[in-house]
Amino acid sequence: MAEQPRPFTLAIPDQAIADLKARLALTRLPDQAPTPPGQPWAYGTSVDYLADLVAYWRDRFDWRAQEAALNAFPQFKVPLHGIDVHFLHVQGKGPNPTPLLLMHGWPGSVYEFLEIIPRLTDPAAFGGDPADAFTVVAPSLPGYGLSFTPGQPRFGVPAIADCLADLMTEVLGYRRFAAQGGDWGGFTASCLGVEHADKLLGIHINLLSVRPDLPPPADPTPEEARYFAEAAHWVKEETGYQWIQGTKPQTLAFGLTDSPAGLAAWIVEKFHGWTDNDGSIESAVPRDRLLANIALYWFTGCIGASFWPYYARLHGPWPIPAGRTVDVPMGYAAFPREIRRPPRSVAAQSYTDIRRWTVMEKGGHFAALEQPATLAAEVQAFFRDLRRA
């Protein structure tokens, strides 16, 4: 019999906050390599940007306010698959709320979801239909944030999917549930759709689990040609982080666990490159929420464990096993600044029951954080018929 979840409240010790500020005060920045005009991020994180961010983090950022924002939601921990799994469990307000597993990825956390959860659990408060309400379960993925303690087992995507399936069914007692995710959360939703299809109403994702080694068709459509050209550029210019995280994660973890400025530089470069911004990260993501996410990585010391899906990916099979497909109903929100945007013809090779495919007007990789209202509306629209079937 599964153990019962125990209530959890986040409370970082004052000493840990003081230690962080002391380390930030001793930050030693590198010089800025000469960059092309107007391209301060051309070779990675801008030194000027990081200097300003570190100063703000040290002198003005209010961790306690962000801690309180997370603690405003009901949180729990439960022993599962050899670790303590942390999750938010927010009851829906409607006639028959559908359980929804909401999953983040790297380098994200449950801080991505603080604006979207109320829209999903209480749509009437935002002018929507109470019949669209979900009861949201938003876990910290195993190995991430508050689902990490030093020395615990490491998890790849299939193991994460198995763990979260048991969280939903064995621990929380939901016979069937909906799933939504981006980044590794999207991969996990897809893996659930293969290995735990009987438990799912369907999956909604904003990052497709499409094999990177697919050959381009002999006579590609313009959309297919665009995708394969973008994919080739991505592999050449944007996958360095995957190779180091996927081959020598322990070595990188030393620097990022010891230096908060180094940790911030590693993470904010992705928020700069992957959000739909106007050149400034803060035009897409509030600075305090960005730092709350980074600070959670810092205080929990989880960065090394968070790399593990990359290591498992490079040293094991693709999360969707060869010869198998995702056959549960699937909905996809195609945000314009997502890191990979396969056309529907390519996605259909992996997903056999695409019910909804929406090209979004604005947003990037961190969709729940960047565009909570439009993503919530898409999730509601996709599951509206499925929940009533």
Sign of CA dihedral 349, 190, 233, 277: positive
Q: How far from 193 is each of 56, 81, 155, CA to CA, in Å?
A: 42, 20, 18
Burial 340-370 (b: 16+ CB within 10 A, else e): ebbbeebbeebbeeebbebebeebbbbbbbb
Q: What confidence tier does 1 reach under pLDDT thresholds 50, 70, 90?
A: low
For residues 285-289, give the mean pLDDT: 98
Mean pLDDT, rounded, for 282-306: 98
389 pLDDT band (50/70/90 cuts)? low
Residue 6: strand, helix, or coil: strand
- Can you give the pTM of this predicted structure? 0.97
Phi, psi of 364 (to 5 degrees): -135, -145
CATH 3.40.50.12280 fits 6-388, yes or no: no
Active site residues: 183, 310, 365
Q: List % helix, strand, coil for the chain (3-state, nearest 5).
A: 50, 15, 40
User: Which pLDDT tens digit goes with each residue over 86-140?
Assistant: 999 999 999 999 999 999 999 999 999 999 999 999 999 999 999 999 999 999 9
pLDDT at 375: 98
Give residue 293's pLDDT band: very low, low, confident or very high (50, 70, 90).
very high
Query: How confident is the model over 29-43, as a mean pLDDT?
Result: 93
Rounded distance between C-alpha atoms, residue 157 and residue 312, angstroms: 8
Per-residue pLDDT reduced to its tens digit, 306-354: 999 999 999 998 888 888 999 999 999 999 999 999 999 999 999 999 9
Residue 153 clears pLDDT 80, i.e. is over it: yes
Q: Decide if 100 contacts 192 (C-beta within 8 A).
A: no
Is the model's pLDDT at 227 over the cut of 90? yes
Q: Where are the domains of the chain?
A: 6-388
Query: Pick from 40, 313, 370: which is nearest to 188 by CA?
Result: 313
Q: Which band of pLDDT confidence, cut at 50, 70 and 90, is reported for residue 282?
A: very high
